[in-house]
Amino acid sequence: MAYVALYRKWRPKTFEDVVGQRQITETLQKAIIMDKVAHAYLFSGPRGTGKTSTAKIFARAVNCEQGTKGHPCNTCEICRHIMRGESLDVVEIDAASNRSIEDIRTLRETVKFMPAEGKKRFTLLMKYICLRSKRLMLCLKPWKNRRHMLFLF
């Protein structure tokens, strides 16, 4: 059996599993239910507070084929792909190690494509604070009017 890091093994699978973030999870669920999902969300806080977990649950809930009332089913093909990290529609990028102009150009190229299997494409930009302001603006500009893309950082 392959080694699985503890944070991956015990990562919350539903909004109810996220501890201490009830207001945020309820707000995200209401946005999904009312079909008023914004094109960008900023999750901030110290390490271990559930930012990445909440973003991944949100991506599953938005793209889920069978989910109800803003909850992902975690059993459909899309949910399983996102949970295993195999989905082409959910891209996780570490800005601390991918901050060159060439990396940002590559990221901008992915914006042109429609979602492969889900309703929306998600880009999870981790540690965005490592990007300098000009590079961050270069990175954000393509997402301005893309209805099929969501940007989480």
109 or 27: which carries more pLDDT confidence?
27
* pLDDT score, position 29: 96
**Average pLDDT, rounded, for the chain:** 81
**Confidence band of 153 (pLDDT split at 50, 70, 90):** low
Residue 130 has pLDDT above 60, yes or no: no
Res 40: pLDDT? 83
Q: CA 45 to CA 37: how far, in whole Å?
A: 21
Separation in Å, CA 85 to CA 24, 90, 114, 152: 23, 8, 18, 16
Domains of the chain by start residue, with CATH:
21-152 (3.40.50.300)
Q: How confident is residue 47, by pLDDT bands cut at 50, 70 and 90? A: confident
Q: Is residue 128 scored above 80 in pLDDT?
A: no
pLDDT in tens, 54-90: 999 999 999 999 978 889 999 999 999 999 888 988 8
Q: Is the CA virtual torsion 136, 142, 146, 148 positive or negative?
A: negative
Position 68 scores a pLDDT of 82
Whole-number percent of the chain with pLDDT over 90? 33
- In 10 A of CB 137, how many CB atoms? 10
- What pLDDT does residue 134 have? 55
Confidence at residue 63, expressed as pLDDT on a 0 to 100 scale: 93
Which pLDDT score, from 0 to 100, does residue 79 have?
94
